[in-house]
Amino acid sequence: MEAGNHTEVSEFLLLGLSEDPELQPLLFGVFLSMYLVTVLGNLLITLAIISDSHLHTPMYFFLSHLSFVDICFISTTVPKRLVNIQKQNKDISYTGCLTQMYFFMVFAGMDGFLLTVMAYDLFVAICHPLHYMVIMNPRLCGFLVLMSWFIILSVSLFHILLMVRLTFCIDAEIPHFFCELAHVLKLACSDTLINNISLYVATALLCVFPLTGILFSYSQIVSSLMKISSAGGKYKAFSAFGSHLSAVSLYYGTSLGVYLSSSVTHSSHRSSIASVMYTVATPMLNPFIYSLRNKDVKGALGRLLSQAVSCP
């Protein structure tokens, strides 16, 4: 490609879900509502866990981190979308786009890692209950979370450093409502072979292996659940397992749906709509999944709200 056909771009254009001006107020209202519900729901879960000493266990330690990550996850994409709709423009700076890509990869990856760690915690709790507190000690819990952060921060930074070396074409329009790595790579005028290989390898390592670990934990959990004789114990175990299964199904179901729909239909518009489920709906629904099916969390939330109402 000739040098005149590409330049160092200073900004990208986010086309969003629709260019119809009449739909923008509706989209603004939907995104704002989902964002507020997500932040409020996950914040309440975090505060309830911190304030209630009964919830200071490994399971809720990981859940509080998941709630924090979900708040950050949705905050990487939705506020910028709201600002663009409000100002009626589509611009995002080159630096802003790279920053958004970096944090999107970080928090999306952390969601998957935390769900994997929570699956291991559930496996130990159900399959090795007598040794649970010995195995899932505070030191191990902290190590698992810190290692997850270290891995995903490093991998995401590696992708961004590979992106910096690329040259992008003029009229860089992203058919999405946020800067997503695969879409931005398509706008590059320089060779992206290394970037694509790195993306596929990272996807395999950060998605396939965690999912395999989750499925293995599930197989052991189901086997142990069948051996539980007490109705109360079986109900409590099934409740915890059901909540985690719902969260995992939502996360991996929506994320796989996005990439399968984009590869099968080749429709950027449909892919963008599917991405809303992955990037917005998943963080919003996680608090409901873990609160509606969990008596301990519901009790802690009730006590937290009662204290808030009773305060002068």
> How does pLDDT run across 240-269, given as a tens digit for each residue?
888 888 889 888 887 776 666 555 555 556
Establish if 1 belongs to a structural domain.
no
Contacts of 38 (CB under 8 A, 6+ apart): 70, 71, 74, 280, 283, 284, 287
Establish if 3 belongs to a structural domain.
no
> How does pLDDT run across 211-231, given as a tens digit for each residue?
899 999 999 998 888 887 777
**Domain total for the chain?**
1
Establish if 171 belongs to a structural domain.
yes
The residue written with tokens 């790195």 in the block is: 198
d(CA 60, CA 54): 10
Round the average pLDDT of the chain to a whole number and report it. 84
Residue range 183-207: average pLDDT? 86
Residue 6's H or E segment, with its range, is: strand 6-7
Establish if 257 belongs to a structural domain.
yes
Residue 199's H or E segment, with its range, is: helix 193-203
Per DSSP, 188 falls in state: B
Has residue 69 got a pLDDT over 90? yes
Establish if 76 belongs to a structural domain.
yes
Establish if 202 belongs to a structural domain.
yes
pLDDT band of residue 3 (cuts 50, 70, 90) is: very low
Q: Which domain holds residue 39?
A: 10-310
Instruction: Specify the 3-state DSSP secondary structure of 2.
Output: coil
Say what percent of the chain tops pLDDT 90.
Answer: 35
φ, ψ at 170 (rounded to 5°):
-70, 165
Q: What is the DSSP string of 129-178?
A: GGGHHHHT-HHHHHHHHHHHHHHHHHHHHHHHHHHHT--EESS-EESSSS
d(CA 60, CA 38): 18
Q: What's the CATH code of the domain at 107?
A: 1.20.1070.10
Residue 80's H or E segment, with its range, is: helix 78-87
pTM over 0.85: yes
Residue 256: CA count within 13 A, CB half-sphere: 11
Residue type, 268: S
Do 117 and 145 meet the contact criterion of CB atoms below 8 Å apart? Answer: yes
pLDDT band of residue 293 (cuts 50, 70, 90) is: low
d(CA 138, CA 153): 22
pLDDT of residue 6: 44
Residue 122, token pair as written in the block: 């559930």
Has residue 78 got a pLDDT over 80? yes
